[in-house]
Amino acid sequence: MKCYENYVNGYGQALEILGNHGKSKKFRQVAETGKQQADQSLESLLVQPVQRIPRYVLLLRELLKHVEPGDPDHRPVTMALAAMEGLAGRINEKKREHEASQRLREIYGCIQNKDEFFRYQFIIPARRLVHEAPVLYRADVQKDVVDQTWYGILCTDLFLLTERKQHGARETFTVHHQIKLSKNFDVSSLEDGPEAELANRFLLADTTQSLFLGAETQADRDAWVSALTKCAELLKPTGNSKKPRKTRGSGRKRLNSKYCASGS
């Protein structure tokens, strides 16, 4: 199982390496010789283990259609299908976790002002990337109130509000605000107010900070609220622990609340 997970996680990187080596004339000649001998390309051979478990699932599903409930083989086929579906689900989840971990490392490497915000180690085992997408942020720009499209990066214990720039295939991030999430963290989807306020608003709030943000569409806001709610649930203590404080406690620093008065 572990060996198979490692192979699936490394499959994308293997294709990338294969593509880079494909520029070499000598490598292409060796690959072509191997293709003629095996009657399959190297790409086809690499993908076969990745497709193996999904094919077993499809095969067992098809087999189950032809086995009557009273047949002695019905129960073992059903159990085998459940086991393969469970295995496929776990492998996919591990693959998503691996991809999210790789993406978080990429983001950290592209942050321009990391020394200003991260005095301690940023990449830690407990921190996982949950969601990333554009957000609307209202701020002062030369004494004018401007709605800016910035970029939100949500980890299991941290939210970063950044400015994202694309330089061809390369991207950079400049962090403007960060909220460290604790067990008191909460998120609220806010009703749309006057036209002068942010559209599709939502509120992030923790013990010491709160932040009003908006989204281009309601679906974008719902995606943010869903991801933030997931983080809040993971952070809340289990058992008979005390309930977290309300999100609008006194003494909290509101980073841009003066532009969203009806939501405060």
**In the chain, where the domains are located:** 2-109, 115-263
> Which pTM was predicted?
0.70
Q: What is the model's pLDDT at position 33?
A: 86
Is-contact 221 159, C-beta < 8 A?
A: no
pLDDT greater than 80 at residue 181 = yes
| SS3 label, residue 72 | coil
pLDDT above 50: residue 258: no
Per-residue pLDDT, 169: 84
Confidence of residue 245 (pLDDT cuts 50, 70, 90): very low
Per-residue pLDDT tens over the stretch 101-118: 889 999 999 999 988 888
- Fold (CATH) for 115-263: PH-domain like (2.30.29)
* Model confidence at 93: pLDDT above 60: yes
Report pLDDT for 120: 76
Whether 2-109 and 115-263 share one fold: the answer is no
Could you tell me the fold of the domain covering 2-109? Dbl Homology Domain; Chain A (1.20.900)
- Chain segment 29-44, per-residue pLDDT in tens: 888 888 888 888 888 8
Q: CA–CA separation, 130 vs 113, rounded Å? A: 22
Q: What is the per-residue pLDDT across 139-180, written as a single tens digit (0 to 9) for each? A: 655 566 677 899 999 999 999 999 999 988 899 999 999 888
Q: Which two tokens stand for residue 205?
A: 């709030």
The answer to whether residues 105 and 123 touch, using CB atoms and an 8 Å cutoff, is yes
